[in-house]
Amino acid sequence: MSRYRLVDPQHVKPLHEIRKSRAHHLRELIDRMRHEGWQGRALVVEETAPNRYQAWTGTHRLAAARRVGIRVPVVIIDKLKWVRHWGCPKGLFVDAVDDDMDKYLALLKAGDILPARIIHQEIELNMGGDAQRCGLGVHAHPCL
C-alpha cells in the first residue's frame, strides 16, 4: 500500500493545540482552502491503527482542512525503517523526538527520505517566520 494517501482529516490527530496567537493565520488558511483546496506539502504522519494517524506536522493546515471539510494528503513514516535503526519506541514514534530538527535527523538516519524531506521544508519555512509561505513542496504543489 502506498505511503502517500488522501485521508479524512477527522482521522488525523493533530500534533498540538491550535496556537491562539496564530488565529489570524488559521482564518487565512481556511479562506484559501475554501477557494483553492489543499495546496502544498503533505502532512507527515504515523499510522496508529488502520486509517488512523498521528500528525508530525501541519497542525494549522489540518485544522483548516477539518473546518473546510476537505481530504488531506499525508506521507506515512516507515515504521520498519525506524525500528531497524532506532528500535521500538515505548509509545508513539513521534514521542521519541522533540522538535522538527530531531524528527528530520531521526528520519534521515533511519533512511526514511520522503518524510525527512518534508520536515526539512517545514524547518526552512519556519526559519523564515511563516510555515505557510510559498515554495515548491516534495510533490511540486505550491505551498499554502
pLDDT one-digit tens code per residue, 101-129: 999 999 999 999 999 999 999 899 877 65
Percent of the chain residues past pLDDT 70, beyond the cut: 88
Domains of the chain by residue range: 4-127
> Rounded to the nearest 5 degrees, what angle is found at the Cα of 125, between the Cα atoms of 47 and 39?
60
127/138: higher pLDDT: 127
Q: Whole-angstrom Cα distance, residue 37 to residue 126?
A: 22
CATH, range 4-127:
3.90.1530.10
Give the pairing type, strands 72-76 and 4-7.
Answer: antiparallel
Q: Which three cell numbers stand for residue 103?
A: 524528527
According to the model, what pLDDT value does residue 103 have? Answer: 94
Measured CA to CA in angstroms, residue 14 lies from 53, 58, 62, 87, 112 at distances of: 9, 8, 7, 24, 21
Q: Whole-angstrom Cα distance, residue 61 to residue 36?
A: 13
Q: Which of 33-37, 46-50, 132-136 has the lowest mean pLDDT?
A: 132-136
- Sign for the CA dihedral angle at 84, 86, 90, 96 comes to negative
Q: Whole-angstrom Cα distance, residue 61 to residue 82?
A: 26
